[in-house]
């Protein structure tokens, strides 16, 4: 059961980070609220977040296969 929660966390986190990488949507949204200066810093956060969550998915898959 713990492996399923771990895998679900990783998948959800990866999907959220992948959705946030749609820079044109973020540019419009941040520009609308006056925070477009933050666009230059998004890659410093989003790409490592995607890598981290993909690692969680891989680790959960490894544990699931090992326990089977």
Assign 22 a pLDDT band (cuts: 50, 70, 90).
low
pLDDT in tens, 32-53: 888 878 777 777 877 787 788 8
Q: Output the pLDDT for position 42.
A: 74
Q: Cα–Cα distance between 28 and 36 in angstroms, integer?
A: 8
Residue for token digits 């933050």?
38
Q: Output the pLDDT for position 48.
A: 84
pLDDT over 90 for what percent of the chain?
0
Nearest to residue 12, comparing CAs of 52, 63, 41, 39? 52
Nearest to residue 7, comparing CAs of 65, 68, 46? 65
Helix (H/G/I), strand (E/B), else coil: 29: helix
Summarize the confidence of residues 8-27 as an average pLDDT.
76
């Amino acid at each position: 059961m713990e492996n399923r929660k771990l895998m679900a966390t990783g998948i959800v986190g990866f999907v959220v980070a992948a959705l946030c990488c749609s820079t044109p949507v973020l540019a419009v949204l941040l520009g609308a609220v006056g925070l477009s200066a933050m666009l230059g810093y998004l890659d410093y956060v989003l790409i490592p977040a995607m890598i981290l969550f993909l690692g969680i998915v891989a680790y959960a898959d490894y544990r699931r296969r090992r326990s089977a």
